[in-house]
Amino acid sequence: MAEVTDGVSVVIPAHEEGRVIDRCLNTLLRDARPGEFEVVVAANACTDDTVTKARAHGGDVTVLDLAGAGKAAALNEGDRVASRFPRIYLDADVDLCTDAARGLADRLRVGDVHVVGPALQPDFSGCSRWVRWYYDVWLALPVMNDAYVGSGAFAVSREGHQRLLPFPSVVADDLYARRTFPSSQRATTRPGLVIHPPRNLRALVHRAVRVRAGNVALERSSVLETQDTVRGHRGLGAIARELPARKLAVFVLVTAAVRVGVLHRSIRRRGAVWNRDESSRQSL
């Protein structure tokens, strides 16, 4: 498709996201001007009503009904259809409002960075206290600084796009975007991205295992260009005195459970799967 020099493209990969796709698109487009965003929903291997619901959002939303499953393939197919820069990649189960999307694009237009991500704003509706405590620690880690990119949405400039695309087959697109660029070329913007954490510890561990397994596979591959990042739990010592012991204990226990889960997964040699949590997609 011929490229358009003005505007913003938003690529949304979606697999069986009928329960959340309306929320995602309504939030993004609620205050948008007609034609302001070119949205491409790359629905892949969907047997639910994801495609039907996405197509009901009008002419600014193009919906691809792809037969094959896989997030990386869906991102790449959606990217081929998109025609504008800056370009946003957005998960279907998170909420990026119109102003937040504009903020991503405006930050990239300054020209000093090539990838940006919105600050994270967890919606803890229906979540257990243990999940809240885990996120309290995670969001306080040094990695969650003003150069953090990922966890559901990020955007790239035209130059950044040339370096980043195509996405590798490993299920770890957020880490891939974060590690392709040094911190001097990344930025965090506000308003932020509303994320919906798993509602209980079991779901949290299950999701974290899949995320970490994808990250490990990516780190072992040859596609990463930079190691300029602070890795999650390795910054725990820097904040240990600032947080309650009970919250730190939950974080440490979950981290240990995730390590065991990743090891077990690698022994079983399970292939890459779509990374998703079902608990946060259930109605309250």
pLDDT per residue as tens digits for the range 189-219: 999 999 999 999 999 999 999 888 877 766 6
What are the structural domains, with CATH classification, of the chain? 8-279 (3.90.550.10)
pLDDT of the residue at 198: 96
Global pTM value: 0.88
Q: How far is CA 269 from the centre of its chain?
A: 25
Alpha-carbon distances of 167 from 75, 180, 206, rounded to whole Å:
7, 11, 24
Alpha-carbon distances of 111 from 161, 174, 198, rounded to whole Å:
13, 21, 36
Q: Which residues pair with 120 in a beta bridge?
A: 193
**Strand order across the beta sheet in which 153-156 lies:** 61-66, 37-44, 8-14, 87-90, 153-156, 115-122, 186-195
- Please give the angle made by the CA atoms of 27, 14 and 177, to the nearest 5 degrees: 85
pLDDT of the residue at 40: 99
Query: How far is residue 99's CA from residue 192's CA, in Å, rounded to a whole number?
Result: 9
pLDDT of the residue at 186: 96
- C-alpha closest to that of 53 among 26, 34, 93, 35: 26
| 61-66 and 37-44 beta bridge pairing | parallel
How many CA atoms are closer than 13 Å to the CA of 102, on its beta-carbon side? 10
Three-class DSSP category at 153: strand
Low-confidence residues in the chain, pLDDT < 70? 1-6, 171, 217-234, 267-284
Alpha-carbon distances of 185 from 10, 84, 110, 229, rounded to whole Å:
21, 20, 12, 12
Query: How far is residue 187's CA from residue 69's CA, in Å, rounded to a whole number?
Result: 31
pLDDT per residue as tens digits for the range 65-99: 999 989 999 999 999 999 999 999 999 999 999 99
pLDDT of the residue at 170: 72
- Element (DSSP H or E) covering residue 63: strand 61-66
Residue 88: how many other CB atoms lie within 10 Å: 27
pLDDT of the residue at 1: 46
Are 64 and 77 spatial neighbours (Cβ–Cβ below 8 Å)? yes
Q: Which burial class, exposed, middle or buried, applies to 66 when counting CB atoms under 10 A from its CB (0-12, 13-18, 19+)?
A: buried
Q: Which residues pair with 4 in a beta bridge?
A: 84
Are 122 and 43 spatial neighbours (Cβ–Cβ below 8 Å)? no
Rg (CA), the chain: 18
pLDDT of the residue at 144: 87
- Please give the angle made by the CA atoms of 127, 133 and 136, to the nearest 5 degrees: 110
Are 98 and 31 spatial neighbours (Cβ–Cβ below 8 Å)? yes
pLDDT of the residue at 230: 47
